[in-house]
Amino acid sequence: VEQVKLLDRFSTSNKSLTGTLYLTATHLLFIDSSQRETWILHHHIAAVEKLPLTTSGCPLVIQCKNFRIVHFVVPRERDCHDIYNSLLQLSRTAQYNELYAFSYNPKQNASEQVKGWQLIDLAEEYKRMGVPNANWQLTDANREYKICETYPKELYVPRTASKPIIVGSSKFRSKGRFPVLSYYHKDKEAAICRCSQPLSGFSARCLEDEHMLQAISKANPSNRFMYVMDTRPKLNAMANRAAGKGYENEDNYSNIRFQFVGIENIHVMRSSLQKLLEVSGTKGLSVNDFLSGLESSGWLRHIKAVLDAAVFLVKAIAVESASVLVHCSDGWDRTSQVCSLGALLLDSYYRTIKGFMVLIEKDWIAFGHKFSDRCCQLDGDPKEISPVFTQFLECVWNLMEQFPQAFEYNEAFLLQIHEHVHSCQFGNFLGNCQKEREELKFKEKTYSLWPFLLDEQKKYQNPLYNPDFSPELSLLEPNTVSFNFKFWRNMYHQFDRSLHPRQSVLDLIMNMSDENKQLEKDIKELEAKIKRRSGQVDGVLLKEPLPPAPPAPVLLKSPPCFQKEPPLVPGSDSVRTIEGSSSADNRYSEFMEELGKAEPAVVSLEYGVARMTC
Amino acid sequence: MEFAELIKTPRVDNVVLHRPFYPAVEGTLCLTGHHLILSSRRQDDAEELWLLHSNIDSIEKRFVGSLGTIIIKCKDLRIIQLDIPGMEECLNIASSIEALSTLDSVTLMYPFFYRPMFEVVEDGWRSFLPEQEFELLSSLTDEWRLSCINKEFSVCPSYPAVVIVPKSIDDEALRKVALFRHGSRFPVLSYYHKKNGMVMMRSSQPLTGTNGRRCKEDEKLINATLRAGKRGYIIDTRSLNVAQQARAKGGGFEQEAHYPQWRRIHKSIERFNILQESLIKLVEACNDQSHNMDRWLSKLEASNWLTHIKEILTAACLAAQCIDREGASVLVHGTEGTDSTLQVTSLAQIILDPRCRTIRGFESLVVREWLQAGHPFQQRCAQSAYSNSKQKWEAPVFLLFLDCVWQILRQFPCSFEFNEHFLIMLFEHAYASQFGTFLGNNESERSKLKLQQKTMSLWSWVNRPQELNKYKNPLFEANSLVIWPSVAPQSLQLWEGVFLRWNRSSKFLDEAYEEMVTLIEYNKQLKAKVNALRRQLAELETDDRMQENP
């Protein structure tokens, strides 16, 4: 469709770009008159809305899962209607094999595809943690997904937990998700375990489950006491008792300390994000409306609650050497958040690029976080959608802000992962659990995201990363006082560039650190050349030692071959352009257009956008 | 008066000092005329705290048995606690601190007693003279002149001795205009935009009163700055309502009928006690670590601090825009023209003029647009966020300006020669200092106090290379363009370097900053090395050729 206008989201004067809109099988593409391209993957589309017809045409608003919002005006209503219907169909997929991942072909051959999937090996990861060992072993109880459909096949349990105990315990746990090892802390010999809520109702008990917990606490020689963290608010947990579920009774379990930590459920989180987006998307927003909207959305409160829970867990392990069992209702949302963040705080490996991939594979993908439902990959129940994984990334981002040198990866890495959790371009996040993924043969039919990210890891490296920032298995102790939590502008306004700083320190330092490597190479070459020359002629050799190099980030092996996809990194333009300086880019210029018109009585500059009200 | 009279107990042993994020220090407390000194007796790392009495904003005392505790709240927002054994000693110390921190005579302030321990390379009092500024200007245009009309500060007490005015307006006319403007602050040149020759002027409100008085000379003066057929903008930093109310008190605003070539725009910027209240609330919110998220956000909102930041930045952007984009001259004023007016004119210059983003240029801006322009520092900065006295004239006007600069600096991290520490340093010295720079309310007072002869200038100290290094931004790359900041709420942030400075450890952030500096230094070294090697190689190659063809 030609002559389509793309409106600026925050402009109050309807500034727009005119161009042509294309629909492909996988993407929506807009090319404006200066040939700039905007690609939107159909899977990224969260909602399409047709607004009432205006004089200039029919407005079409598209909301994306990566928080991009585009506002088109299509000149003819018929076209608009067609686009609307096509987008509705294209963005709603009924079956997995219609997803982009199944048509996406990155020109990898079969062996590369297999190798890509083998990049992250969880058995290797457990070995790195130090299991199996004298106290923990691999169990084959779930080999055929017989005991628990949403768990992976390989599970680690205390050696003293026999098969009957496992089976018994799983029958007493919601969805059969019995307590298993998530992370083992070698030095403290303490473990993070995870499960779902017990089916205790008001009084039910299960001896096998009690034995199971005993086995976990006995597997820790340093401290016989263990914590049981119920990550739900107490009220929710109590309400669950009426449905025959609930929480552990301290009297029935010996040696446990029970603790609620009060993270809200997926529905609260979904509507909280909804409110946040409503506020941040308002045109002409005032500071006070923004702050009160931020407050009433509760979003930062939830982020803080998640991080507080992780800090509680970490203290139990690092200070008391006590093992901790974490659960919520089903043990795949809040439990995943808390376990993975806890491990990230405890173990510096997860703060490396590869380690973070492993962490996501382990605590999120393998343990059955329902990515398909939560991210609405297939047309499904809207009540199942929830930004649980986004919250996890936001917690990590907050940690990165507090510890700028502790992470090998940067913000762009988190944003890129977020992008692909929703893009359905790679197989990793498709489906809800491992069993489903195996049945649908994702590993044969789709590609893994991780080798591609590793391949372009240069973009994701934190130039300030210091691997010696803290000794092996070192602990991060974040400050969770409220004022440390900030609105994540680069996530929620990733595509609203006018709101961003006009010069990026990160990009600059990244380039500089690249340049330094090149310069080091140049120096070596030049020195070699000079040596050769001066061998012939008795030249004087400048003998200056190379300046002492700052610690270089650890480089990981990068697998071969990756072709860049157009919509991959939206913000990778050249670095030193100063956007505010060209008149086309800044919002005040709109003010001037209007200044010419009417005699003003009052001028209001809102949202960086100037507007006259006469 | 002798300070000794105020110091009943000059020395107490076994005093314990508590500061957040540091272990407690036990030592001897000494009071001098200007300092509170605590030195630990431990030999290994003798720690000393030197606190200027003038930095103390308020103190509280508490007793538990015979152990007294004094909590000292400073103007730089720090809070420290001293445990003093002995009821009497504690009471004495407290009353001495109270008396010494609220001396009412300026000439008793520390700057008059301070003897510099460094060699003065350049006298800061003579670093930024209006004459130099005018010299620069006259190389660009001859439409302006330096007027000595205010030589004895007789025409306008809050203006400097010399001001820059349109050439076509003589001193006689200026005298008449001065009578027509609040506090005699007639329109003077604030900034000349090299790119298009447009200017920014500032003044105070015209005294039109209820009957719409006019002054032909005033109209002539500001019209003299317009190009033929061009219009100008008057930016009034009050809302239309407030400006209208001002007429009842003899003030007012320029009527369209009398200034047909000018378009008036009202941008409301808050004043005085509202700003002071805002600061008090903000600091209170930042100092309470126990707030849950909702409470923190609502307190941050209730302080309105960021709203003020947004208002000021918006007005400054508007002024800059009129000049740069619209190609129009601008006159900025509020009521007195000593507060919000200066915020707008100085910030607009930072946006427009790359020179103001260098260290020296920024110092010059502070001298021109704040000190010489008559911002009453002594009144405004007498007390800070912990003061109990609700004096009408105390207001964090300068701190708000520095915060706005910080917001722009954050959005353009490579365009400023100075870093955040430079701004924090200026904030500290504006409120309490060993230097005379920020004493007095205007040039007239400063000249009466003989500050130039009797005190040391802050600039003499700051501009020494070893000191300056601390304040250099390693990312700086001169950028000759106009920089337009975003004023969206999502782009504005709390200035943690000031408001959270004492409330959380910045160890990891500081280390990361150091790492960044190292990286940049290393880059420079490598580049120099590559160049040296290239040269050497080239020399060798020419030598070779010479040998081949002798």
Q: Count the alpha carbons within 13 Å of B540 in the hemisphere toward its beta carbon.
A: 23
Among A540-549, A556-565, B1-10, B101-110, the least confident range: A556-565
pLDDT of residue B402: 98
Q: Is the same domain home to A78 and A133?
A: no
Of A530, A547, A589, the CB nearest to B525: A547
Among A86-100, B133-147, B481-495, the least confident range: A86-100
Asked whether residue A238 is domain-assigned, the answer is: yes
Q: How far is A471 from chain B (nearest CA, A)?
A: 15
**Among chain B residues, CA nearest to A608:** B487
Residue type, A464: L
pLDDT of residue A470: 63
- The model carries a pTM of 0.90
B371-388: average pLDDT: 92
DSSP 3-state assignment of B39? strand
Asked whether residue A160 is domain-assigned, the answer is: yes
Give dist(CA B173, CA B155) in Å, integer. 12
pLDDT of residue A594: 34
Q: Is the same domain home to A242 and A124?
A: yes
Q: How far is B416 from chain A (nearest CA, A)?
A: 11
Give dist(CA A559, CA B481) in Å, integer. 43
pLDDT of residue A13: 57
CATH number of residue A39's parent domain: 2.30.29.30
Asked whether residue A111 is domain-assigned, the answer is: no
Checking DSSP bridges between strand A136-139 and strand A155-158, what pairing results, if any?
antiparallel
A32 is in an annotated binding site: no
Q: Would you name the residues of A annotated as active-site residues?
A: 328
Give CA angle at A461 (A456, A464), nearest 5°. Answer: 160
| Per-residue pLDDT reduced to its tens digit, B214-227 | 999 999 999 998 88
pLDDT of residue A253: 92
Q: Is the same domain home to A66 and A129?
A: no
Q: How far is B308 from chain A (nearest CA, A)?
A: 9
B519-531: average pLDDT: 92
**Segment holding B67, helix H or strand E:** strand B67-74
State the residue range of the domain holding A266.
Answer: 119-496
Q: Is the same domain home to A368 and A428?
A: yes
pLDDT of residue B139: 92
Asked whether residue A254 is domain-assigned, the answer is: yes
Of A484, A526, A602, the CB nearest to B533: A526
Residue for token pair 């991210």 = A375
* CB-CB contact of B99 with B7 (8 Å): no
Query: Among residues A391, A553, A540, A539, which one has the least CA distance to residue A462?
Result: A553
B532 touches chain A (CB under 8 A): yes
What residues of A are in contact with residue B516 (Cβ under 8 Å)? 464, 505, 509
Q: Is the same domain home to A157 and A35?
A: no
- Residues of chain A whose pLDDT is less than 50? 472, 538-614
Residue that finishes a domain, picked among A59, A93, A127: A93
pLDDT of residue B121: 86
Asked whether residue A590 is domain-assigned, the answer is: no
B152-167: average pLDDT: 95
ipTM for the predicted complex: 0.92
Distances (CA, A) of B48 to A568, B43, B74, B366, B432: 55, 12, 17, 32, 19
Give dist(CA B438, CA B434) in Å, integer. 10
A169 is in an annotated binding site: no
Asked if B487's CB is within 8 angstroms of A608's CB, the reply is yes
DSSP 3-state assignment of A539? coil
Q: Is the same domain home to A181 and A39?
A: no
Asked if A288's CB is within 8 angstroms of B508's CB, the reply is no
Q: Is the same domain home to A140 and A207?
A: yes
Structure letter (DSSP) for residue A564: P
Q: How confident is the model at residue B44 (pLDDT cuts 50, 70, 90)?
A: low
Structure letter (DSSP) for residue A320: T
Residue for token pair 């001028």 = A603
| Per-residue pLDDT reduced to its tens digit, A63-98 | 999 999 988 888 888 888 888 988 888 888 888 888
Residue that finishes a domain, picked among A52, A75, A93: A93
Interface test with B, best of A502, A523, A589 (most B CBs within 10 A): A502
pLDDT of residue A169: 95
DSSP 3-state assignment of B83? strand
Distances (CA, A) of B31 to A391, B11, B297, B428, B433: 53, 7, 41, 21, 17
Residue that finishes a domain, picked among A473, A496, A519: A496
Give dist(CA B384, CA A255) in Å, integer. 54
Q: Is the same domain home to A287 and A162?
A: yes
B245-271: average pLDDT: 93
B498 touches chain A (CB under 8 A): no
Give dist(CA B490, CA B488) in Å, integer. 5
Interface test with B, best of A9, A264, A280, A287 (most B CBs within 10 A): A287
DSSP 3-state assignment of A49? strand
Of B240, B490, B529, the CB nearest to A499: B490
For chains A and B, count residue pairs whose Cβ atoms are closer than 8 Å. 241
Q: Is the same domain home to A141 and A235?
A: yes
Q: Is the same domain home to A128 and A200?
A: yes
Q: Where are the alpha helices (DSSP H) in A73-232?
A: 77-91, 100-103, 110-118, 122-129, 163-171, 207-218
* CB-CB contact of B411 with A497 (8 Å): no
B398: exposed, middle or buried (Cβ count in 10 Å: 0-12, 13-18, 19+)? buried
CATH number of residue A257's parent domain: 3.90.190.10
Q: Does residue B538 carry a pLDDT above 90?
A: no
Q: How far is A38 from chain B (nearest CA, A)?
A: 23
Of A464, A520, A610, the CB nearest to B515: A464
pLDDT of residue A227: 96
| Per-residue pLDDT reduced to its tens digit, B350-377 | 999 999 999 999 999 999 999 999 999 9
Q: Is the same domain home to A457 and A412?
A: yes
Q: Which residues contact A48 (CB under 8 A, 6 or more apart)?
A: A60, A61, A62, A63, A84, A87, A88, A91
Asked whether residue A113 is domain-assigned, the answer is: no
Q: How far is A324 from chain B (nearest CA, A)?
A: 26
Asked whether residue A106 is domain-assigned, the answer is: no
pLDDT of residue A612: 28
Q: Is the same domain home to A297 and A345?
A: yes
pLDDT of residue A471: 55
**Number of structural domains chain A divides into:** 2
Asked if A484's CB is within 8 angstroms of B504's CB, the reply is yes
B162-170: average pLDDT: 94
Checking DSSP bridges between strand B48-52 and strand B56-64, what pairing results, if any?
unpaired
Asked if B296's CB is within 8 angstroms of A466's CB, the reply is no
Asked whether residue A539 is domain-assigned, the answer is: no
B36 touches chain A (CB under 8 A): no
What residues of B are in contact with residue A600 (Cβ under 8 Å)? 263, 265
Name the region of A474 (left: φ>0; alpha: ψ -120 to 50; beta: rest): beta
| Per-residue pLDDT reduced to its tens digit, B412-449 | 999 999 999 999 999 999 999 999 999 999 999 999 99
pLDDT of residue A593: 35
| Per-residue pLDDT reduced to its tens digit, A262-281 | 999 999 999 999 999 999 98
What residues of A are in contact with residue B509 (Cβ under 8 Å)? 404
